[in-house]
Amino acid sequence: MTLDDGIKVHKVPLRRSNDDINDESPFAVAVSSPMEDLPPESNFLATQVWPSARSAAMALNNHLETTTISTVCEFGCGPGLPSITAAKSGVTKVTATDLDPLGLRLVNYAASLQGLSDRIETRRFDLVNNDSVPKADLYLLSDVFESSLVAQGAANLVGNLLTSSYRGDSSSTTPEVWVFAQSDRAQRDIFLIKLREILVKPRLDWTPFEKGPPSSWTKDNVDCHESLWLCDIDETTVVYG
């Protein structure tokens, strides 16, 4: 497959069947080779589906049916496998955001191929200067800590989402925030230290994928935040089929 400007792309499904793409599985579209002639403002890394994004998509696939979530916003979406999975799982409004315009084009292309364009909106968004945040029941970030500046910006964003700053009046319901990051990402420690300060949770820490989202936890753990899931991803255990 190619985009309208000739960039070669391929499907990246959440699940496969007998080594072929499962037609029922949500899929993203990724750029096929780093040798492609990309627009100057685009980064090849933002055009690929990474293990944390696949884990985030699988978490949505596993847990959305047991929630009342109707709106999802993904930050740093890249090709947007989690966003596409959310839309295909029944979420009526999904906002996929990224600073990279090619990543957003990939989301729109994959959405159109799956008949999901009416459910998915794309928007440019800068995690460092996050001053206009879409409203959502669930906010999602996966593997966005590419620099210390972005990690601190993400911590400020998540902290604000879990307070009244982006929720309107004080009676608004606190959204859920799910953050997925590989264990070997050094910048995620910067994110965690900053977020601990903002939320005044000095023992807040990453938890395993198997633990699931906050709605499945016991509420007597004072070290966690009841609406926040910091998911630790071991790249070697991510299932690709």
Query: Which pLDDT tens digit goes with each residue over 159-202?
Result: 999 986 555 555 567 899 999 999 998 899 999 999 999 999 99
pLDDT by residue (tens digit) across 14-62? 987 655 556 689 999 999 998 889 999 899 999 999 999 999 999 999 9
Position 1 in a domain: no
Position 159 in a domain: yes
Position 4 in a domain: no
- SS percent in the chain: helix, strand, coil, step 5: 30, 20, 45
Position 3 in a domain: no
30: left (phi over 0), alpha (psi -120 to 50) or beta: beta
Position 22 in a domain: yes
* Local structure of 225: helix, strand or coil: coil
Q: What is the DSSP string of 68-113?
A: ---EEEEES-TT-HHHHHHHHTT-SEEEEEES-HHHHHHHHHHHHH
Position 165 in a domain: yes
Position 110 in a domain: yes
**Residue 125: CATH number of its domain:** 3.40.50.150
pLDDT by residue (tens digit) across 124-160? 999 998 778 999 999 999 999 989 999 999 999 999 9
Range of the domain at 43: 9-237
Number of domains into which the chain is organized: 1
Position 220 in a domain: yes
Q: Rounded to an integer, what distance in angstroms lies between the CA atom of residue 85 and that of residue 23?
A: 13
The single-letter code of the amino acid at 71 is: T
Contact 93, 70 (CB under 8 A): yes
